[in-house]
Amino acid sequence: MQQSLKLNKLFLLSLILISVIPIFSHLDYAQAQTSNNSYEFALPEGDFEYIEIQTNQTSAVFYGSLSNVSVTVDLMTQSQFMLFNTTGSQHYLYQQNSSVVLNAALLNSGVYYLVIYSPYQPVGFNLTSQVIPVSLVNSTQFAEEEVQVPTHGYTSILLHLSTKGSPFSLLLEGLSNQSVSFSLWNGSTVFNSTPVTATLNFTSLTFGYNLHLSPGVYYLNITNPHSSTATAFFYYKITPSYVNPYLTDLIRSQGQLPMGIASYGVVNSSRITTYALNFSEVAGYFNFSSLSAYNPNGSSFNVSDYSSSLQLNAVLYDNGSVYWPQDVLMFITNYSVVILHDNVFNMTTDNATLTNSSITSPEGFVIGTGHNAYYGNYKNPIVLSYKFPFAGYLLMKVVNSKSGPVISFGLLVFENGSPVREMFWFDNVSIRAPSDASFVVNGTEYTPAGIFSSLGSFYDAELVLGGGANGENVNFTALKGELGLFYVDENNDLVAFPSYYTFGADTAESTSNVHVTINGIVYVSEGKLDPSSLSTLNVNDYPSLSYTPPTGSVRQTNSSTSPTTSIVNNQSAVQSVSSTPSSSPSSQSGSTSLFDLGLIIGVVIVIAAILGGIVYRGRKKSIS
């Protein structure tokens, strides 16, 4: 009967370790043989037993004991064990006194000892351990990092600034090679742990501390009380009650925002609520009766002084990978021409990259390296002349295939000085990745910020006005128009988002003088910035969406009337553009058949800049 009890205890202890070990999933387990030890002991009073643990590389050791009375369990280095064995003096990396012990530690290559000591009474106990080789790699998808904590000192880490946006829950996990304490500070200490080698809670079989905190700026402090440097590996995850679009103020100059209409998954009413949506197509409506812009410092951004943009931006999620495609109308307002442009960024981590093998299209390529790499349709961009009123839909659609998702970028024009019906699918971009992609709006989380950024981006959709490219801020000298932002259901019908805001957050380009109002339809004009929330849109007030579906080819035009829009690319005659430059930055001319040298030079410069990778769309950068 006693033997059965011991076996049951050993079985229970093994189950406990099996339950806890997977929680350390953030550690990158090395491809090496794990070692397991399980023992049953009976000790007389004042005696001890031990398990020798050998590690050939950095490893996580998990151990636990069950006994009929309280015992002392020490994790010792080889020198500490030799001292204890010869003199009885106890020095250790970590010590616990209990009848139930469960712990873990991070060990460098070497020899260590688990010592069980019962100084005052006989004891029967079970002891089990498991050693798993790990590779400590700082993660840029999650907040996960290895740090060296100085002797009798501390290391301080600023938590992601999403903590300022709303109340939040914090999961904090840690593993170290000697006992350290974890604390949180936001002007005063709001949490402080005892010295531990692992943030492990036996009673709830959880690894880590779960804390619920108020909005604010928080620092994680790891304190080392020992006379030798401690290696600590920590992970934290912030779960906000809701995302806060106004956090964009943290990374922008005051009075500069991309303005228009955006959905963040947050309903800002008397009680803030959230929602999450997945969809395969997003549509941005525009109707401009006037639009001109001027920035005397445009050349410092490698764009025309008269450039501005309207861009449809959304987040694409695909089995853990996060991409940011954007469908852009880049206006050169003094020539009445607009460039059809698109970009794709990889937002999966704060140093994620794209390559010309991971994302492909006949129309473009990837420029830059590392986290600065992004895709653009730089090979053969379409340039259109426009007249007012200029109206239509920007469209982005994703279709999943065996080789990966395909993003189609489109422009439907149904008014260009007069009614027309022209559909341009000007780029089909293939991503070589798992294919379960959809656009996402989610009001409960930010995109991964990693260890190099202080703030992630939003899972939002935006239709916003701003500078031409490269983070430019622009003033509109004339602006009158209507905007609308929708997702498209399987019946090709427009569906309004449950809520909207008047400004974007993920977009780098901005403006200082666009005012947004709503009366069933969203109206934009020059005026004072008023970043605020809006009521939802009346879909029936907008033109219905009807277009030719995208195919494997691009640049098709389907017109119900004779086209009034000219298509220009770097391989065709630039003379096909028909427009007259304006005489001053504050006036916007209409299109005529007159063609002059100034237009040739202007359009060629713009296209050359795009082809050279100088003019690109930007996403906002987090402060470091």
Instruction: List 107's β-bridge partners, or say none.
Output: 59
Give the model's pLDDT for residue 127: 86
Give the model's pLDDT for residue 575: 28
Q: Give the span between the Cα atoms of 31 and 341, in whole angstroms.
A: 45
Match 């999966």 to its residue by tokens.
Answer: 348
Q: Give the span between the Cα atoms of 93 and 90, in whole angstroms.
A: 10
Q: Give the span between the Cα atoms of 291 and 337, in whole angstroms.
A: 11
Closest CA to 328 of 376, 257, 390, 360: 376
Q: For a pLDDT cut of 90, what percent of the chain falls above it?
A: 64
Between 298 and 596, the more confident residue is: 298
Task: Establish whether domains 2-134 and 143-240 are of one fold.
Answer: yes
Give the count of beta carbons closer than 10 Å to the beta carbon of residue 91.
13
Banded model confidence at residue 586, pLDDT cuts 50, 70, 90? very low
Is the bond into 167 cis (omega within 30 degrees of 0)? no
| 562 has a pLDDT exceeding 60 | no
Beta strand residue intervals within 19-167, DSSP E? 28-29, 35-43, 47-55, 59-77, 94-107, 110-118, 123-135, 143-149, 153-158
Banded model confidence at residue 567, pLDDT cuts 50, 70, 90? very low
Question: Is the distance from CB of 153 to CB of 147 less than 8 angstroms?
Answer: no
| 42 has a pLDDT exceeding 80 | yes
Q: Give the span between the Cα atoms of 112 and 603, in whole angstroms.
A: 71
| 601 has a pLDDT exceeding 60 | no
Banded model confidence at residue 578, pLDDT cuts 50, 70, 90? very low
- If you count them, how many residues does the chain have? 624
| 398 has a pLDDT exceeding 50 | yes
What is the per-residue pLDDT across 51-92, written as a single tens digit (0 to 9) for each?
999 999 999 898 988 888 999 999 999 999 999 999 989 999
Buried b vs exposed e over 429-448: b needs ≥16 C-beta within 10 Å? bbbebebebbbbbbbbbbbb
Give the model's pLDDT for residue 553: 65
- 282: Cα within 13 Å, side-chain hemisphere: 27
Give the count of beta carbons closer than 10 Å to the beta carbon of residue 512.
18
Question: For all residues of the chain together, what is the average pLDDT?
Answer: 85
Question: Is the distance from CB of 71 to CB of 118 less than 8 angstroms?
Answer: yes
Question: Is the distance from CB of 609 to CB of 462 less than 8 angstroms?
Answer: no
Q: What is the mean pLDDT of residues 494-522?
A: 95
Give the model's pLDDT for residue 269: 80
* pTM of the full structure: 0.85
Q: What is the mean pLDDT of residues 537-546?
A: 94
What is the per-residue pLDDT across 326-377, written as a single tens digit (0 to 9) for each?
999 999 999 999 999 999 999 998 889 999 999 999 999 999 988 889 999 9
CA dihedral 410, 416, 418, 420 (to 10 degrees): -20
Domain ranges of the chain: 2-134, 143-240, 259-351+377-611
Give the model's pLDDT for residue 365: 97
Q: Report H helices in 337-494.
A: none
Give the model's pLDDT for residue 5: 34
Question: Is the distance from CB of 441 to CB of 277 less than 8 angstroms?
Answer: yes
Buried b vs exposed e over 550-589: b needs ≥16 C-beta within 10 Å? beeebeeeeeeeeebbbbbbbeeebeebbbbbbeebeebb
| 617 has a pLDDT exceeding 60 | no
Between 95 and 582, the more confident residue is: 95
What is the per-residue pLDDT across 243-280, written as a single tens digit (0 to 9) for each?
999 999 888 888 999 999 999 999 988 789 999 999 99
Between 504 and 605, the more confident residue is: 504
Q: Give the span between the Cα atoms of 390 and 580, in whole angstroms.
A: 17
Give the model's pLDDT for residue 413: 97
The answer to which of 125-129, 168-172, 380-384, 469-473 has the lowest mean pLDDT is: 125-129
Question: Is the distance from CB of 213 to CB of 162 less than 8 angstroms?
Answer: no
Give the model's pLDDT for residue 4: 34
Q: Which CATH superfamily is domain 143-240 in?
A: GOLD domain (2.60.120.680)
Give the model's pLDDT for residue 268: 87
CATH of 2-134, one of 3.30.300.130, 2.40.160.20, 2.60.120.680, 1.25.40.390: 2.60.120.680
Task: Give the per-residue SS3 of 249-318.
Answer: HHHCCCCCECEEEEECCEECCCCCEECEEEECEEEEEEEEEEEEEECCCHHHHCCCCCEEEEEEEEEEEE
Give the model's pLDDT for residue 564: 37
Give the model's pLDDT for residue 30: 66
| 129 has a pLDDT exceeding 90 | no
The answer to which of 381-395, 407-421, 445-459 has the lowest mean pLDDT is: 445-459
Banded model confidence at residue 611, pLDDT cuts 50, 70, 90? very low
